[in-house]
Structure 1
């Protein structure tokens, strides 16, 4: 069958024009730019930082508690340890501060200092991490 010149590109021409350079790399050839794996790893690192719920943020503000970079790092470390152990709701103690953390979402649900935790009773947790 003979194709007449109709002004349309053939499928082969479209593939060559628009898809060239998107195939597999040849041996010894390097890809320019950032790989998908690098982007995925960066996003996972970003999402693994501890977040504070609105309630926890207001508790910290009301109690005039300011966390240092070191305390935040230890809170993150405690959350990661709880995650490794399969804990879902964890009490994380950092210095004189107590945090209830929803581990799967890495979200601090509430926070208090030693003065507010006078009864030393924490409910609805399934593990505790002391850092």
Structure 2
């Protein structure tokens, strides 16, 4: 590759360099075998269930609420469904419990039992899933 007198590549040279690499990735093995594809696969395989924020953990602890494995599975499945629909902040109802979940960060932000949901008003959500 030819570098001009100033020591910098021309726009055309940079463009050809990066476009050439992009065509190799797209035209050859595809995304699955690219570094990006490998990282994405690794993230998918390492995906764990939802995390609980400190606030949500405190709410559950204060009210002596323990989730069964079935409830956790349903909560995780509901979070995955919300993600598939493009929801960012979801209300997820599991039995008599309500969870506000930040879908992108995979985090339960707050948790309420049936006594606290008496007003039936939930704000700052863009979707709901009944699990």
TM bucket (normalised to shorter chain) is: 0.5 to 0.7
Structure 1, unmatched stretches of 5+, are: 1-35
* Aligned-residue CA RMSD (Å): 1.7
Distance in 1 (alpha carbons) for counterparts of 2:46 and 2:96: 27
Distance in 1 (alpha carbons) for counterparts of 2:43 and 2:105: 14
Q: Secondary structure of 2:99's match? A: strand
Q: Secondary structure of 1:64's match? A: coil
What residue is the counterpart of 2:71 in the other structure?
A: 71
Q: Secondary structure of 2:100's match? A: strand
What residue is the counterpart of 2:92 in the other structure?
A: 92
Structure 2, unmatched stretches of 5+, are: 1-36
Q: Report the alpha carbon displacement of residue 108 of structure 1 after superposing the two structures with TM.
A: 0.2
Give the TM-score normalised by structure 2: 0.67
Which moved further from structure 2: 72-81 or 45-54? 45-54
Q: Report the alpha carbon displacement of residue 41 of structure 1 after superposing the two structures with TM.
A: 3.8
Answer yes or no: is the 8 Å Cα contact 1:97–1:113 preserved in 2: yes
Higher helix share: 2
- Which has the greater radius of gyration? 1
What residue is the counterpart of 2:31 in the other structure?
A: none
Answer yes or no: is the 8 Å Cα contact 1:48–1:106 preserved in 2: no
Q: Secondary structure of 1:74's match? A: helix
Q: Could you list the per-position Cα deviations for residues 87-107 of structure 1 after superposition, in whole angstroms to 9, with x for gaps in the alignment?
A: 000000000000000000110
Number of aligned positions between the proteins: 95
Q: Does 1:115 align with 2:119?
A: no
Q: Secondary structure of 2:111's match? A: strand
Give the TM-score normalised by structure 1: 0.67
Distance in 1 (alpha carbons) for counterparts of 2:45 and 2:102: 18
